[in-house]
Structure 1
């Protein structure tokens, strides 16, 4: 099945662009970034600042934007059955260079998981446009546990590297 990512959520004050691979089925159905109820992204972002996530999606988006966080995906479209990154085929990237040109305040690209990072490196790696940006490969916020990341607390600790880029 052919799936498409969402448009970016970004403001002029964005300092960090969090890049996922492709929204999962639950997120696509809800038309929300990190819309699966067990995804750790919103608890991570809020938890970095000692807060509990707002229930309303619009408030979560405003919280992210107020802190200089933008959201998008490395992949613009792909073929995928289900939600697993392992099932992604024929990935076509989003225009990350074009977005960066429109929002030059971005200082950091934060990759939410291996697939986002690996896809970026495949399509954009080695291009000088990225030389002045911090490229951070972070553990996935997916609800699927792994050997190193089992809880939200584990992920918050790993994502603390973003704190210098967040507006408090």
Structure 2
């Protein structure tokens, strides 16, 4: 019985070596160029193109934040709370969510005042304010950032790293 196993192993080994030799000979013959090499290259490349789409799809399927709004650096460094900043810089203040635009005020001048004085100043127009209250993108003022609110346990690479939300008016939609 052991002689049969030995003969089968030798036969299998010879067959594997002959197949290996055939493949090596063909690759050597075809490997010098030509349509066969390019066809094999394209056949091997095609699945990787689709794999690249799959790997990058997380950007477009990311969890959108429950809320995001602009944090104005001058007001934040002056000790204003997020609600105060939202109240003075956006239409409808804290009642609006997912805001990308802020009023075009002189926030440097407002940061020298406390919150109540700033509200009075804006109402009395002692700070440069356009009558139509022109809105600009949050990131148009240097140093401004966005604050993102997520449900507990949720995060999003898209909003934390790329800051896509307001720069190109993109928002991911849940598929399920």
- Pick the structure with greater CA Rg: 2
TM bin (shorter chain):
under 0.3
- Answer 1 or 2: higher relative contact order, Cα 8 Å, separation at least 6: 1
Identify, as 1 or 2, the structure richer in helix.
Answer: 2
Question: TM-score by structure 1 length?
Answer: 0.23
Question: TM-score by structure 2 length?
Answer: 0.23
